[in-house]
Amino acid sequence: MRQLHRFHGGVHPPTNKTQSSETPILAAAMPSKLVIPLHQHVGNIARPVVSVGEHVLKGQVIGKADGRLSSAVHASTSGTITAINYSKVAHPSGMDDLCVTLIPDGKDEWVENLGVDYRELSHSDIRHRLRDAGVVGLGGAVFPSDMKLYSSKHQLKTLVLNGAECEPYITCDDRLMRERAEEILLGAEMMRDLLHAEEVVVGIEDNKPEALAAMQKAIIDGKHERMEAVAVPTVYPGGGAKQLIRVLTGIEVAAGVRSTEKGVQCFNVATAYSAYRAISYGEPMLSRVVTVTGNVERPQNYEVLLGTPVAELVAQAGLKSGTNGYLMGGPMMGFMLPSDQVGVVKATNCIIATAPESFPAPAPTMPCIRCTRCAEVCPAELQPQELHWFAKAKEFGKAQDYHLFDCIECGACSYVCPSNIPLVQYYRYAKSEIWARERDKRAADLARERHEYRQFRIEREKQEKAEKLAQKERAALLAKQQADAAAATTNTDEDAQARIQSAMARVQAQHDAVQPRNTDNLTPEQQAKINEIEARRAHIQELAHPEADLDKHHEQHAHATASAPAESPKE
C-alpha cells in the first residue's frame, strides 16, 4: 500500500460530474465545416503548408511545426481548404489567431498512415513521430509532449500518470480510463521506457471508483510490471501536477524547480493514450474526448474532431433555452468563449452551456477585509491578498517578488473570498502585463542591437574607406618623394660637374691671360728656376686630368704607327 501525503490548502466545490459520466463516449457527428487554429499548443505557431482550394486527406499535415518548441496541426477529415485567415479562437484573451477552414467532403478519407511497435524504433524516432503527430499535453497545458520525453540528467524514479480530474463538471478522463485503460497503459509504458523511469503511478481521485477499477484490472490483465493505480483524496486542485506529485510521492517541487530534478515526470492519461495511438497506429492528434454539459438536454462525452464549431457540438447534446454563453473548461479554471463559432482545440476538455440559474452573475466586489482565507486554501502557499494589491496597483515587480508566476490559477482563492474579489483575473492580468513588457523589452533590445550593429557596420565601413584613402595618399606621397629625390640627385650631380667645368675654364682663362714677363737677359739660374716651375705646373695638370694625358698618349701612338713603314710578309 502506497503511503499518501497532503498538499497545502485546497477546497471542496460541488463536483457536478454524474450528469455526464454515466454514458459511454459518443462519436460526434461530422460538422459542416472545421475551423482549425494553427496555434493549439505552447510555443511557436505551426506554419501553414496548404493553400486555399487545395483538397486534403484526413491526417494530412496542414500546419508544420516551426522551431524546436512547436507542434504540427493536421486535417481532421478529408475535404477542401476554403480559407486561411485570422478568426476567433478558444483562448482566454479573446483575440483572433490564424486558422484553416476546411469543408468536409463526407468521405473521411485517410492519408497513408502506418503504425509500428515502438520497441522497433529508436527513442529519437519516437520523439520525432510524436512531434510530427502533434501530440501535446491534454491536461490543459498543451505543452509539446516530445519535449518532455528526453532523458533527464537526473535519474527519474517515477512517472506519474494524472487521472485525478479534479475540476468540477469535467468527466472526459474518467470515461477514457473506463473505456480505454489498456491503451493508456501501453502509452505510459512507452513513456516510461523513453524516460528510463523505474515505475509508473496512476493517480485517480476516489470519486471515480469505476475508472480506478478499470485501470487496476488493465494492469493485472495486461501484466504491466512496475505500474500501480492509486486512489487519492478528492480535493481541489488535487489534479495539479505539483499537488499530485506531492500526494503520491511526498516530494515537494519548490518554486522554480522542475519535477524532473526531483526524479519525477507527470503526464495526463489522455496524453498517454494519444501518444500510443500516434506510434502504434500512425494516427496524428485529430480529435479528443470533450465533456458537453451544463444547460443541455443530454450531458455527454463526445469524441470530437478538432476544429468542430462549438455551436454544432452543443447542438448534438440538445441545447436548452436560456443559454447565455459557453464556458471552456470547468467553473474554477475555465473561461468564457468569445463566440459559439470557435473551433474545438486540443485544450478543449469541456464545454459548459451556461444559464443564469446555474451560473448566476457574480456578486458585487467589496473591499478586501484581510481575512486571509485565500492564503489558507492556496495550494502554492502564496499570499493571494498581497498579489491582488500589487496587481491592482500595477506594481508588477513586487508581484513577481511575491512569486506571482508560481500561481497555478486554480481559483481556490476566488472561490472562498467573502468580498467576491475576482483574484485570479487580477493575477492573469498581471502575468499578461509582465509578459507584454518582457516582449516589448526583447523587441526593444533587438532593435537596439540591430541599430548598434548598423552603426558599427557604418563606422567600420567609414574607417575602412578612410584607411584605403590614407594608404592611397601615402603611396602617392611616397612616389612623389622618390621622384623628387631622384630628380634632386640628378640635378645635384649635373650642377657639381658644371661648377667644376666652370672653375677649370676660369683657371684656364686666367692662365691664358697671363702675359709672360720679360724673360730676356735671364741668367742660367733664373731660366732653370722658371723651367722647374713650368714642369711642376704641367705635372699638376696631368694629375688633375689623367684622361687628357691618356688621349694624348693614344694620339702619339697612332701617329707613330701610321708613319712607320709596313713589314713585308714572310715567305
DSSP per residue over 306-340, as a string? TT-BHHHHHHHT-BPTT--EEEES-TTT-EE-S-T
203 burial class (0-12, 13-18, 19+ CB within 10 angstroms)? buried
C-alpha cell recorded at residue 343: 473551433
The sign of the dihedral angle between the CA atoms of 439, 440, 441, 443 is: positive
CA separation for the pair 532, 410 (Å, rounded): 138
- Residue among 34, 32, 66 nearest 49 (CA): 66
Q: Where are the alpha helices (DSSP H) in 364-520?
A: 373-377, 384-392, 396-401, 412-416, 423-513
To the question of whether residue 374 is assigned a binding role by annotation, the answer is yes
Residue 369, helix vs strand vs coil: coil
Task: State how far the alpha carbon of 56 is from the alpha carbons of 75, 77, 82, 404, in Å.
Answer: 7, 8, 11, 44
- 247 contacts 231 by C-beta, under 8 angstroms: no
CA separation for the pair 23, 7 (Å, rounded): 33
C-alpha cell recorded at residue 70: 512547436
What DSSP element (H or E) covers 555? helix 546-563
C-alpha cell recorded at residue 200: 509508473
CA separation for the pair 418, 245 (Å, rounded): 31
User: Looking at 26-74, which runs of residues are DSSP E strands?
Assistant: 26-27, 34-37, 47-48, 55-56, 61-64, 73-74
To the question of whether residue 417 is assigned a binding role by annotation, the answer is yes
To the question of whether residue 99 is assigned a binding role by annotation, the answer is no
Task: State how far the alpha carbon of 182 is from the alpha carbons of 27, 199, 269, in Å.
Answer: 20, 17, 11
To the question of whether residue 413 is assigned a binding role by annotation, the answer is yes
Give the residue ranges of the annotated binding site. Answer: 368, 371, 374, 378, 407, 410, 413, 417
Annotated binding site for [4Fe-4S] cluster: 368, 371, 374, 378, 407, 410, 413, 417
